[in-house]
Amino acid sequence: MNVETLRLLLRRLAWSLGVVFAVTTATFFLNRAIPSDPARMVAGPQARPADVARIREQLGLDRPLSVQYAIFLSRLVHAGPSSFDARKDGAHATCGHLGPLHLDLGRSYQQRRPVVAILKERLPYTAVLALAATALSVLLGVGSGLVAALRRNSWIDALTVGAALVGISAPTFILGVTLQFVLAYQLGILPLNGAGDGLVDEARHLVLPTLTLGIFGAAFYTRMARAELVELLQQDFIRTARAKGLPPWRVVLVHALRNALVPIVTVIGLDLGGLLGGAVITEQIFSWPGVGMLAVRAMRDRDGPVIIGTVLVGAVAIVAANAVVDFAYALLDPRIRHH
């Protein structure tokens, strides 16, 4: 790795941290700007004012906003012991840590548990769903787009384009409920909802949400891949490759598809980043215990620390996905690598 690359990486890292910090800060203040009282939401609509006031004090919400923000920042990322017992060590009871680097998002107002611990429970579900759905979207979408492009203007092309149009037009809440109704309720071949227990059961529970997100995403990738490939297959370098006598599969997969993937990878990165932040509607339909469902509940309950936590997850996911996309560009296109 040369100095220039290192400098680029460091600049990129600083930019990413800046974005995450800005998003987190904006969320903190926006959350406070909404005209509602989190202490009231914790206590319940019928709690007496004296009890609400005490809870407000316990949550630190009676302090000036600047003080609240200073406390939030001082705790957010800090140094601490590499190993500790959260139950016994009050100062780090709400921390998650990577060695001596601690992340502390505080305690959920509603669940009264550390936000980091809640996110650690939810993130694996969201990550598995996001990866599975993206993989399905890309394989199905790029595959069918490729077939449609190669069989341009045939009935296969028409069927593929038509199906993709329906897929894009059908929102996930229609597609999800329809799949749930047919495959789980009527046919009984898949569970209706939940996340299951044990590897096989969990895999069965993963199928419906993956299909919902995957089909929706695949429809988009189909149209995109088809459009890119139709254009590329008419380019001079493809004609040259064919004239050189390269096998057709090599022309298509190595020369055409590789070039078509450059814009597609951008979208994959953004999609994956978005899904890692939580597939809000799909998680709701299938009671999938991911970050998306957590975010919705937190916003409804005005659970500030959890809202910030879920936004942070989303921001980090988008930033990380963008970074991965940039590196993928370099792999796919040597011109970018050289620049």
| Residues in contact with other proteins by the rule CB under 8 A | 34-38, 40-55, 58, 87, 107, 110-113, 118, 121-122, 153, 155, 158-159, 161-163, 165-166, 170, 174-175, 177-182, 184-189, 192-195, 284-287, 289, 293-294, 297, 300-302
- Rounded to a whole number of angstroms, the CA Rg of the chain reads 24
| Distance separating alpha carbons of residues 306 and 110, to the nearest angstrom | 9
- Provide the minimum distance between the beta carbon of 127 and other proteins in the complex, in angstroms, as a whole number: 16
Closest approach, Cβ 16 to other proteins, in A, equals: 29
Contact predicate 214/132, CB 8 Å: yes
DSSP state of 55: H
Long-range contacts of 111-119 (CB under 8 A, 24+ apart): 111/303, 111/306, 114/86, 115/305, 115/306, 115/308, 115/309, 116/309, 118/294, 118/306, 118/309, 119/291, 119/294, 119/309, 119/310, 119/313
Question: Smallest distance from the beta carbon of 66 to other proteins, in angstroms?
Answer: 20
C-beta of 128 vs 195, nearer to other proteins: 195
Closest CB to other proteins among residues 170, 246: 170
Measured from the CB of residue 82, what is the shortest distance to other proteins in angstroms?
22
Give 165 or 253: the residue with its C-beta nearer to other proteins: 165
CB of 334 to other proteins, least distance (A): 37
CB distance 310 to 278 below 8 Å: yes
Nearer to other proteins, 194 or 248 (CB): 194
Task: Please say which residue, 112 or 335, places its beta carbon nearer to other proteins.
Answer: 112
